[in-house]
């Protein structure tokens, strides 16, 4: 199982701060997780569309699209600029 977290305007847009997602062999990279979220369609499809610039972190470390994701990992997505 993956623990997904959403931050800043992305969290507001989706209306959810976190969720669990069943991990599987089709979700082994950050890009694959993002594509899975995009395929949900609606606001999810818009928020995770390829042209949307988002940053990601795996277990609280900045990650690239090709970064590996394993069962039990925390994957966070957030916009490139967050205010404070």
Q: Model confidence over 2-49: pLDDT tens digits?
A: 999 999 999 999 999 999 999 999 999 999 999 999 999 999 999 999
Q: What is residue 83's predicted lDDT score, i.e. its pLDDT?
A: 56
What end-to-end distance do the CA atoms of the chain give, in Å?
31
Q: In the chain, what are the domain boundaries?
A: 2-78
CATH class of 2-78: alpha beta
pLDDT the model gives residue 81: 77
As a whole number, mean pLDDT of residues 52-56 equals 96
- Mean pLDDT along residues 55-83: 94
Q: What local confidence, expressed as pLDDT, does residue 40 receive? A: 97
DSSP string, the chain: -EEEEE-HHHHHHHT-SEEEE---TT--BHHHHHHHHHTT-HHHHHHT-TTS--EEEETTEEE-TT-B--TT-EEEEE-S----
Question: Is the pLDDT reported for residue 84 higher than 90?
Answer: no
- Hey, what are 78's tokens? 């957030």
Mean pLDDT of 55-77: 98
């Amino acid at each position: 199982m993956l623990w997904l977290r959403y931050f800043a305007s992305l969290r507001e847009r989706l209306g959810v701060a976190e969720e669990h997602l069943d991990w599987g062999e089709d979700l082994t990279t950050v890009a694959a997780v993002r594509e899975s979220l995009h395929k949900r369609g609606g606001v999810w499809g818009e928020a995770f569309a390829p042209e949307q610039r988002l940053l990601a972190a795996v277990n609280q470390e900045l990650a690239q699209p090709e970064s590996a994701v394993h069962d039990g990992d925390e994957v966070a997505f957030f916009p490139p600029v967050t205010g404070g």
